[in-house]
Amino acid sequence: MLTGIVLFIITIALIVITISSQLKKNQKERPFNEALNFFTNYNHGPCIQKFEELVFEDPYNALYHWYLARSKFYTKDYTGSIKHLTQILKINNYTVHSDNLPEIENFNEPDIYQMQLDIYRKLNLKKELKSTYQKMIQIYPEVFEYLFQYLALEIETQNYSPEVRINLEKAVDIQPENSELYFYLSLVSYKENNIENSLRYAEKAIHYKKSHSDAAFLIGYAHFYGDRFGEAIEYLKQSTMSNYFKKSAAYYLARIYEKKGEFKNTLIYSRQADETPLSIHENQALEAESKFLYALTLEKNGDYMEAFTTYEKVSAIKPDFPGLNDKLKLIRGNNDSSQKVKIVDLENSSTGDFYATVEKVIYLMGYKVKKSEPIDDKAINFHAVLKSDPDSKKYTAILVRRKSGIINSEQLNTIKLYLESCRLTQAVIITTGDFDPKTRKEMERAGYIYVNSQNLQTLLAKID
């Protein structure tokens, strides 16, 4: 009898304890379920508030930190999200009691590191990115993607060190057909001024990815310095739309065409090089170099005012650029007010004065006069000066018009006929008037240098 009563009391006590424990569990889970409900319904404001209360009560519950990190990520509080992700990694407990929790499939160490990486990219925190990739490589050495992304980041941050080169060589051993790795090795060799290795690696990059325009630049660059201009042009043209070498490609194309005496293409690509911004992998010196080349081309084209402005831009970047001061002095002239302006009236001057002045103008442009003669054709009313480059035996016609007004396409065609009769293909056209826009474009296509009234007076002001 007594035994039965004792057993009954024990049974009742156990039931009470079980019910009480379940009530406490339900009471504890209720706030979590409420917070989870907010999360599931994308109501992240109340969700964050609820989970922060839960974290305050239980700061070592990794699951609470997880949903706080996710909610803060969705509300773009990336710094707050990182804080909770870091705390999860410190707690290092990924135990869950249900597989039905939202987004629980990513509640593991690799995905948490990956989430950190995503946030560091958004915040552009390169140092933290590198550090996290290094951790991932240590934890998961078999996952090549972490090594690849780490090396890509080193290149992006312009680390071309021997250590990076060694790691790239190891990576290539793992993935011998990865075109990007060969490009990185080519780039590091290029920065080391090892043109031979740079060419070798860039050719491998192109072999595995025909459309690799950045590798195409490095091949073109190697051919340029090997004086293989045909091959250089082929690859440099492929790289004018590259990610990293648009400016460099245009600059070296301009230099090649300058060497080949193709003025029209020199003007096109020198202008393109000047207008294109530097990329992260291009040398800072290229900014001044491309502007100086463009200014030289403008000067040869007779655009002296724009050339002067461009030379001054070079001066602002690199005041001691070789040859710059001489060019500025030539165009700017003497600043002494007593000698500042000396305008010569070519239109109404005597024939003798006209020829003497024209010869000085031609000399100022860097050429020497071989022979001067008038053109009989009244339709164009020009005087012609045959001139030659100091370093060339080729002759070019310099046509000087002693008449104001606009030169149009019809008159330009007459000039072309005259040039054909003289068997000349190169010309400098100078006028005391101007050219209409269509004629300017036609002259650029033909490779002619032209000087209008404004540019001419700038030159005349420099003549003693």
Q: Which domain does 449 fall in, by range?
A: 351-460
Looking at the DSSP bridge assignments, the partners of residue 255 are: none
Q: How far apart are CA 176 and CA 192, in angstroms?
A: 22
Name the strand (E) or helix (H) holding 388. strand 382-388
**In the numeric block, which tokens belong to residue 311?**
């030379």
Total number of domains constituting the chain: 1
Tens of pLDDT, residues 246-295? 999 999 999 999 999 898 899 999 999 999 999 999 999 999 999 999 99
In a domain, 180, yes or no: no
What CATH number is associated with residue 386? 3.40.1350.10
In a domain, 94, yes or no: no
For residue 26, give Cα distances in angstroms to 21, 84, 104, 214.
Answer: 9, 26, 21, 62
In a domain, 358, yes or no: yes
* pLDDT at position 139: 86
**In the numeric block, which tokens belong to residue 102?**
């939202």
Q: How far apart are CA 301 and CA 373, in angstroms?
A: 23
In a domain, 17, yes or no: no
* pLDDT at position 464: 56
* pLDDT at position 389: 47
* pLDDT at position 22: 47
* pLDDT at position 102: 85
In a domain, 439, yes or no: yes
In a domain, 410, yes or no: yes
CA atoms within 13 A on the CB side of 111: 10
In a domain, 391, yes or no: yes
Tens-of-pLDDT digits for all 464 residues of the chain?
A: 556 665 656 666 555 555 545 444 444 567 888 888 889 888 989 999 999 999 999 999 999 999 999 999 999 999 999 999 999 999 988 887 777 788 888 888 888 998 999 999 999 999 999 999 999 998 889 999 999 999 999 999 999 999 999 999 999 999 999 999 999 999 999 999 999 999 999 999 999 999 999 999 999 999 999 999 999 999 999 998 899 999 999 999 999 999 998 988 999 999 999 999 999 999 999 999 999 999 999 888 777 778 888 888 999 999 999 988 887 776 654 333 322 223 345 556 666 666 677 777 777 776 666 655 555 555 445 555 554 444 454 556 667 666 667 788 887 887 787 777 767 777 777 777 777 888 888 888 887 877 777 777 776 766 65
For the whole model, what pTM was predicted?
Answer: 0.65
* pLDDT at position 149: 94
In a domain, 432, yes or no: yes
